[in-house]
Amino acid sequence: MAFVLMAKNDARPVAAKHLFIEAPDSIFPSIEERTRRDMIDYYESGYNRPSLNVFEDSSVITCCDSTCIEIKASKVLQYQLSMPAKNLIVLISTHSIPMYDSEIAFYDFEWEKQPVEKYFTAPSLTDWLTNDGKKVRDDVENAVPFIIASYNFDVESGVLTITNQLKDYFGKNTWRQVSKWLSPQLKYKWNGKHFKKQ
């Protein structure tokens, strides 16, 4: 962790790729450190061939710049590692179940986990309700047992977009009714300290 410890006390910017490489195995359990290094080399060489992870599944970097790196770890799991502020990592993990379903976590540059509630309050059912949905909240609660949603954070704009993924969970007829009650997307803006719902 020498690079990360140096970075904490250094004013120079830290590249997202270095945080990806230096992460503990518990963060990316299916991708060993040496494999992560190979993935970076392949991406930067322009020959972005997939690398085999510990389960012998293909892992590949799909996007990488100084503040964000996106990784397709397998056919059913992808990661987005972003840096909205000094000494703060936003890590979004998205599973295909088969609908896309995301989790968000926060770490400092030493990969110490931070309380999610310090930076983000996950949307409740109320946040998803449209004007029509608010009028029939009891019906919504009976019809929608949980929300399935995917997350994507654009570091440049500071906008976290949460997309409703329930369409494929319901049958067409049921979704035709339920979709009027729920917003297709929610957006949160990074204000320098935390994400605020727009």
- Ordered per-residue pLDDT tens for the chain, 198 residues: 444 444 444 444 689 999 999 999 999 999 999 999 999 999 999 989 999 999 999 999 999 999 999 999 999 999 999 999 999 999 999 999 899 999 999 999 999 999 999 999 999 999 999 999 999 999 999 999 999 999 999 999 999 999 999 999 999 999 999 999 999 999 999 999 999 999
The pLDDT score that the predictor gives to residue 14 is 84
Give the whole-angstrom CA distance, residue 77 versus residue 71: 9
What burial letters (b/e) apply to 102-137, b meaning 16+ CB within 10 Å?
A: bebebbebebeeeeeeebbeeeeeeebbeeebeeee
Rounded to two decimals, the pTM is 0.92
* CA 49 centroid distance within chain: 23
Give which of 91, 94, 121 is closest to 193, Cα–Cα.
121
List C-alpha distances in Å: 66 to 15, 44, 59, 166: 5, 12, 20, 33
Q: How many CB atoms are closer than 10 A to CB 198?
A: 9
